[in-house]
Each structure stands twice: as C-alpha cells, then as structure tokens.
Amino acid sequence: MRYAETGFNLEIDLSRGGIERVATDPRDTELYLGGLGTNTKILWDRVPPEVEPFSPDNLLIFSTGLLVGTPATGANRTIVSTISPQTLFMAYSMMGGFFAPELKYAGYDKVIIRGKSPDLVYLWINNDKVEIRDASHLAGKGAVETAELIQQELKEPKAQVAAIGLAGENRVYMASIEHGRSSASRLGIGAVMGDKGLKAIAVRGTNDVNIARPAEFMELCNEVLEYIPVRDQNPVPGVMPILAGLGSPKEMTVHDEKWHTENFMWGNSRVRRKGYWNEEVEKKWTESMENVRTRLISCYNCPMKCGAIISVPGVSTYMMKCFSKLTYTMAAFSDLDFGFRIAQRATEYGVDGFSTPQVMAFALELYEAGILTDQNMAGMPSDNEGRFYWLLDRIVRREGIGDVLANGTHWAAQQIGKGAEEYAHNNIKKHEQLPLKLSMLNPIYFLMYCTGEKANITQIEGNFPQAPFLTREEREEFVKDWIQVPDEKFKEYVLNWEPRGENSMPYYPTIEATCEIVDWQEKMHYIDDAVGMCAGLSSFPLKPPYHIHNYPAFISSATGIDMDEAGLTHVTKRNRTLLRAVNVRRGLRRADERPPEDHWKKRFPELEAQLLDAYYKFKGWNNEGIPTKESLQELDLDYVSEDFLQQGILTDNEGTLSKEASA
Ligand code: SF4
C-alpha cells in the first residue's frame, strides 16, 4: 500500500485524446518526495532542452504535494510545472485553495498533460471516470465564470475547477491559471495551458488517503493546530504588519499600508513616494477595504483566512489574496478603489497581478517618451484609469500594441526597440519582479534575487528577519523562543546584526553567514513545494509551525519512509540541484543571475561578485552556477553529470570523467 500519496498519475495526451492511469515508482518518492521534486524529475526525463514552451512536447504538470490530502493543516498546494514562455526556463507556479486535495481524493498525485488539442476542451476527472470534453462554448469566457459554468454543466457544485481566461487562450505570457480560491500566476503557465487548447480541469474526488502511522501523525497535526493561534495572538514586534503574523501575507486584513506605499515603487517600478501615507489616505483606504471585503476565506484545511471575497458594486464578486490589492493601484498612481475594480476584470481574464500592471505602466512610459506613438495607442482614452482598462483589454486580446505587450516587458522591449530596453528595467531572468527599490544592498536578498529559480521574490523570502532589529533588547526578545532555527548560530547572526556600524549591511551578515541563511530559507521552500505545504505556514513567515525539526516526523509518519533532518536536507538539496540542472541544460548561466540594476541605490560590485562566488561554492556549483560532477554524484544525480559531460556543459577539467570515458 502507498501512504500519503496515491501512487498513480493521470497521463493526458491532448493530441490523440489519450487518457491513462499510470502507476508511479515508490523509489521516486524516496528520492524526490513529490510535488515540485517529482515534477522536476519528470521534466528532466521527458522534456529535452530543445523543446519549446509552445511545443506539443512541452508538458504541463498539475501536481499535488506529498502531504496534500492528509490532515496536515495547510497542505493544499497545487504545483504547476512547465517550461515558461517568458523565461524559457522551468516554471513552477503554485496555487492554494481546494484543487490539489480534491485531485488526490480522486486518486491521482499528478495530472500530466502533453500534446495539443485542435479544439478547445476541458478535462473532467470524476474519481476514476475521466473525460476530455468539448469547451468550444467556453471560448472567451472569464476564468471564474468558466468554473461556475462547468460546475453547472456537470451538475457538480463540489467539483474544483482550475481554468484559464482569455489571456491564457491567447497565449499571453502573463496568463495565470485561476481556481476561484487561489491562482497559479507567475511565469506564463496559463499561456501553456491555452496553447494546449485546454480551457479548464474540473475534478471531484471521494476516496481516502492512507497514512502510515495515523496516531503519531495526528499528534503532530494537533501540535501545529495548537501552535497556530498562540503564534497568531503573539505577533512579532518590530517588523512590518504582514510579517508579524502567520499566513500567506494577510494583505486582506492589513489596513496599514505605510510601508508598502512608501517603500515599493509606483508606476513601472519608478517612483518612491515618501510621505504618501497620511491620516486622510489611511481613512480613505480603510473605508475602501471595508466596503468591498465581504468575507475572509481560507484554503482547504487551514484556519488562517488569507483571502477575501471582494464585492465591488457593478462587477461580479471575486477572490483576492496577497499583494495584488496594491499592484494595479500603484502602477496607475491611483487609489485602492481602482485596484479592486480592475483586479476583478484581470482575474476573469486570468493574468498575473504582479507582472501585468508593470507591463501596462511600461507601455505608458514608452508613450510618454515618444517611443510608442499615437498610432500605436490609437483609441486609447485620455484618463489614467481608462488607459489601464484599455491596455488590459488590448493585451489579453493581443490586439494592436497589445500583441507586443502580451509578451511581457523583456520581450516587448526587444520587439519595440528604439531604446525601449532601458524601460524594461525591473526584470530578473526576463521576468518582472516586485517593484521594490531600496537604499542599501541587502546581501541575503541579493543572493535570493540572483539565484532563486522560482523567479518570485515573495515566494523565496523566509524565516530569517528581513532587516536588523533596532535594539539589542528586541533582538534578544526575538531569538529567545526561536525554535525553528536549524542551528544556534543563526541566533547569533540576528543578535549581532545592527542597523548601523560595522555589523550592518552590506557587509553583515558576513558572506559565509549570508550563504547559510539563504540556503536555509531556500531549503524550507523546497520542502514546502515538494510536500504541498503553504509557504504561509512554513517557509515564508517568522517562527512558523512547520520547520526543519518537525517536518521529518510529519513525512515519516505520513509516508512510512524513514526520514530524519539530515535525510530531508539531502533530498531537498537533490531537488534543488536537479531543478538547477534542468535550467542549466536550457542555458542558465551566471550572467542571468542579476537583480535589476536599480533595485538598490547603493551597490557593491566587488562584494556582489564575492557573494555569488561563495554561494555557488556552498551549493556545489562551479563559477558559472553549474552543479559539479562531484556534487551531482553525492546527490545520486549521476545521470545529470553524464548528460552534462555529453553536452559539453561540464568539461573534462570540471568533471572527473572524460567525455570519452563517459561515452
Ligand atoms: S495560510 Fe493562508 S494561503 Fe496558506 S493555506 Fe492557509 S489560508 Fe491558504
């Protein structure tokens, strides 16, 4: 019997209409856990580097995590992996909500989609009955509307639906996959879904998930459930509101936006508005929030209520979570009301709320600079809000200039030319980043920005404080109950980290300490992404309920696999290295690992080079960021090193095997 997982994947060939239930190898679970780990192995094995994002041979994988569907609170993530049209590297975007647990209860760990359907279709998974159904009547429908129509058509209100809107159908690079209670937004995975002619997946499952040692597992779950309210009622003092508690930034409950509005940049990541937040703005924004937020909602099996049902007069209700509350508002230099209004349309179109507002503000900057002309913008209204609606409509339809902008700022700038590249200034690996510009280089964030392959800063930051506490007393208070640290030395790093002087940024934390901190944060994310845990209860907040000391017991008692901290660390390192290998095989090199030039005002090129050198070494990568043969062997990834030697990615000097011996 398989525990925690079902032991079956669903393979769908949309070109031939093939549907197959395929047993998986339990050894892969031991090596890679599940979720992102096994997704990466499948992409390594089955999607060679020459396969383009919009090729029928690209795979689109919807995966549950290993603990999804168990009683572990917050284990509800769907990990969607494919090759991104925007970065041309592996994308792995995640959504919470209810989709993944339902899929596991239907009897599948993953749905693996290949090929392309000639006509628009949707997939209906009803336990072991699986059908590819016509979706031509859903063409052009909104993502949320599609889910409702499918539930009605199937007469199955409990079906969980993941759908694309018009943006996905038109292969817009910012297209998301929406699921009513969450969305997988980053890196253009919705465009790949649209390219495959797949409008939606609906799933209903009523089977059980087995647990290897249920009594032990339930005890651990109860400990987490007891800890969450205690932690929630004791917010961390001295940090910004969204970092004080637990959960995936609980933006829907936060009314104090001083930090975001004054530190994040407005427009196309251009202008910092110091002193913006005053009493009048606070009052107006609080009223706006309270007028539209009808109910706070949670994902499956979680008490945290990070999302909200938003109801704006005159438009359909929708779900909002996280920072998208501010992205449209700040891109348009507008107010919160506007953000809530346009986000409804954007959700139905199915676009990423981080990238899309930046693309629109980028277009307006180009227009103001005379790089885009009246001819390009013919028909655009003169008022600011009207321009944003107009641009959004053009982009999702790929009409006129919208066809160029639909490729994101990096590719659009290249197509437009005439100096437009200078305006695509907030990208890493060709992908729009958070519009954050700060003063002093933060060495921890520098490394995370450069090397993180999730390409989404909000999802790689983690358990270590983002900035030093102001006083020694605050630091001592913070570390005294910090049980989540993998090693006591991390407490020392916090205690010694000061806002000014010798032990301040950019030279403190030291290079060595910075590598250890970044590695720890990244490790926690890779565990979450393999087991399907919400980062909001584990890798993202300070002092979360899940950490390196209790995760091994969770995994062991759920799956029956013997796992201790060293073993889990090893598996995680394997998963992280394999993901890097997928991208290295697709051309990722050191030159790609750069934060936006103006992300910090004060830059230190020599220190930055040293940080990257040291981190690569720490990870077992060579100076180009390529895992070495030795480190690959230690992680049982010999098949990767053989491939690298054959491709000439690793040379004889770097590997111990010669090309001849390898051959
Ligand atoms: S912490 Fe928030 S985002 Fe995470 S599972 Fe719970 S409700 Fe969802």
Residue 455 has a pLDDT of 77
Residue 663 has a pLDDT of 29
Instruction: Select from 255, 411, 281 the least CA-distant residue to 333.
Output: 281
Alpha-carbon dihedral sign for residues 254, 255, 258, 260: positive
Residue 438 has a pLDDT of 83
Which mutation among 246, 305, 306 tests ligand 1's pocket best, with the greatest number of atoms within 8 A of CB? 306
The model's confidence at residue 654, banded by pLDDT at 50, 70 and 90, is low
Q: Find the range with the poorest average confidence among 54-68, 80-94, 433-447, 612-626.
A: 433-447
| 302 CA closest ligand 1 atom index | 6
- Ligand 1 near 627 CB (within 6 A): no
The model's confidence at residue 461, banded by pLDDT at 50, 70 and 90, is confident
- Ligand 1 near 248 CB (within 6 A): yes
pLDDT at 63 over 70: yes
What CATH number matches the domain at 247-432, 1.10.10.10, 1.10.569.10, 3.40.462.40, 3.30.2320.50? 1.10.569.10
Nearest CA to ligand 1 atom 5: 74
The model's confidence at residue 256, banded by pLDDT at 50, 70 and 90, is confident
Q: Find the range with the poorest average confidence among 36-50, 244-258, 598-612.
A: 244-258
Average pLDDT, the chain: 94
| 246 CA closest ligand 1 atom index | 1
CATH of domain 438-627: 1.10.599.10
CATH 1.10.569.10 segments of the chain = 247-432
Nearest CA to ligand 1 atom 3: 248
Q: What is the DSSP letter of 652?
A: T
56: preceding bond cis by omega (within 30 degrees): no
Residue 27 has a pLDDT of 97
Q: How far apart are CA 268 and CA 432, in angstroms?
A: 10
The model's confidence at residue 460, banded by pLDDT at 50, 70 and 90, is low
Give pTM, 2 decimals.
0.96
Residue 42 has a pLDDT of 98
Instruction: Select from 399, 398, 405, 395 the least CA-distant residue to 371.
Output: 405
The Å distance, Cα 155 to ligand 1 centre, comes to 28
Query: Residue 147 corresponds to which tokens in the numbers above?
Result: 């889910």
The Å distance, Cα 73 to ligand 1 centre, comes to 9
Residue 660 has a pLDDT of 37
pLDDT at 650 over 50: yes
- Ligand 1 near 536 CB (within 6 A): yes
What are the angstrom distances between the C-alpha of 37 and each of 74, 107, 151, 203?
Answer: 19, 19, 32, 23
CATH of domain 8-204: 3.60.9.10
Q: How far apart are CA 317 and CA 378, in angstroms?
A: 32
Average pLDDT over residues 349-376: 97
Q: How far apart are CA 100 and CA 96, in angstroms?
A: 8
Type and span of the H or E element at 221: helix 214-232
The predicted-structure confidence for 614-647, as pLDDT tens digits, reads as follows 999 999 999 999 999 999 999 999 999 999 999 9
| 77 CA closest ligand 1 atom index | 5
CATH 1.10.599.10 segments of the chain = 438-627
CATH 3.60.9.10 segments of the chain = 8-204
Query: Residue 352 corresponds to which tokens in the numbers above?
Result: 């990423």
Q: What percent of the chain has pLDDT over 70?
A: 97
The Å distance, Cα 217 to ligand 1 centre, comes to 21
